[in-house]
Amino acid sequence: MAELGRVAELTVELPARSRRAAGQTLVVVALGVISWAFLAATAARHGYFDLRVYYGAINFWTHDGGQIYDYLLPKTEYGFTYPPFAALIMSPMALVSWHVAIGIGIAMSVVSMSAIIYWLAGPLIARQGWPRWFAFAIAMELAVVFEPVRETLNFGQVNLMLLAIVAADLLFLVGRGHRLAGIGVGIATAIKLTPGVFIIYLLVTRRWRAAGVASAAAAAATWLAATIAPDASRVFWTDAVWNTDRVGSTAFVSNQSLNGFVSRLNPVDPSTSLWAALVLVAFVIWMMRVRRAVDVRDESAALALTGILGCLISPITWVHHLVWAFPAIVLLASGAWDRSRSLRSRRALAAAAVVTYALLSSRVVWGFEYRYDGPGVVGSNVYVFLLVFLLVALPLRKPAPTDTVAPGGARPTAADVPDLVELDRKVTAAFHAREAGLPVDRVPEPLVEAGVP
């Protein structure tokens, strides 16, 4: 009879699971259609512009015998702006066709984005018991709508790959005290200077060994590039790195850094002292917050906060560079589902996540291109203000309850811990009684002593 009952339960359960899976599939398909329609209507088509620069510069350097920093994309003033080590990393592009290079670049960015979502949202998905395929499909569809992500994909940029390298280092090496902690930060810095802010993070949080490893890795990669391409290294470090004309106007609306904000206040003569003051304030706030994040062992928040600082203090932060704010959006959403927080706090975090995500997906700043006065003071700097908000308000993980003791109280002792063996015996006996058709409240005591197999 017990077996027949179990079969009946499975017979009822399987159709319910099938209906649930069908519903989830319908949601994924519907959101995919909505995302595609949104992208078709609003996404800018950049034709993999930055990847064209990389591809053209690498081929000019390897096949045509030219100097990589002399290359300009035809009919533009844009050339290769990354350190020589980045050129070495990208040199295999000279061996493949243009369309293969596009495919490889997109694939690497998508894999990087998937890894970032898995690392940051995975714990939330596991806690909530959501089907992994469903949760990750929804997350990926929302991610490609996020303007910095879609701009990175449409430009053929490397931002997501660098974010994945740094995130892996901080979450799995630095956070666990591994002897190679910092190596990812160092390599990312040698590819593009922006991730160098994470070396400052390691110093501020007193991870001296990791900071040393990061600095050594960056130096070693730079030395390798100088050994293989001495002329390119000389040109970069003595000229190209200081030539801001190669990257465009700092007042352009796509520059959503503090420097861009100051430049748009007075495009003719921007105030350097105001920019320096704002950078100093942002740095002090960040320093206090990341130290607190490390104190509560919240490496994910430290990653997000440092990425945000890098965007704010960099002289140039194009919209596609704002993928460094993507972890903050994920953490806001995770906080909204954290049941250890009050309902009011969760609602506030949910609202912040929705509003921040919506604005950073909206292209709102482009509606104020070249209109920087009046309403444009706010409209052209919306993303800057959102970064400041995230720097100040991003929630940190709460300290574990065992980290504190109530006044006059005492820490738990072994006597306070439930007898898990005894609990397991009772639960097992209850299941056996149910299978035998006995009432659970009349379960006989097990015939074995605790701890005896």
| Residue ranges covered by each domain of the chain | 254-396
* Nearest partner of 163 among 306, 335, 296, judged by Cα: 306
**DSSP H or E run through 430:** helix 420-435
pLDDT of residue 169: 97
pLDDT of residue 434: 57
Residue 207 CA: distances (Å) to CA of 162, 186, 250, 391 = 21, 14, 34, 21
The parts of the chain modelled with pLDDT lower than 70 are 1-14, 16, 244-248, 399-453
**Local structure of 274: helix, strand or coil:** helix
pLDDT of residue 440: 47
What are 382's two structure tokens?
């919306």
Phi-psi region of 248 (alpha: psi -120 to 50; beta: other; left: phi over 0): left
* Nearest partner of 143 among 315, 367, 329, 410, judged by Cα: 329
pLDDT of residue 179: 94
If you ran DSSP here, which 8-state letter would residue 78 be given?
A: -
Residue 312: partners with Cβ closer than 8 Å, 6 or more residues away: 257, 258, 279, 282, 384, 387, 388, 391
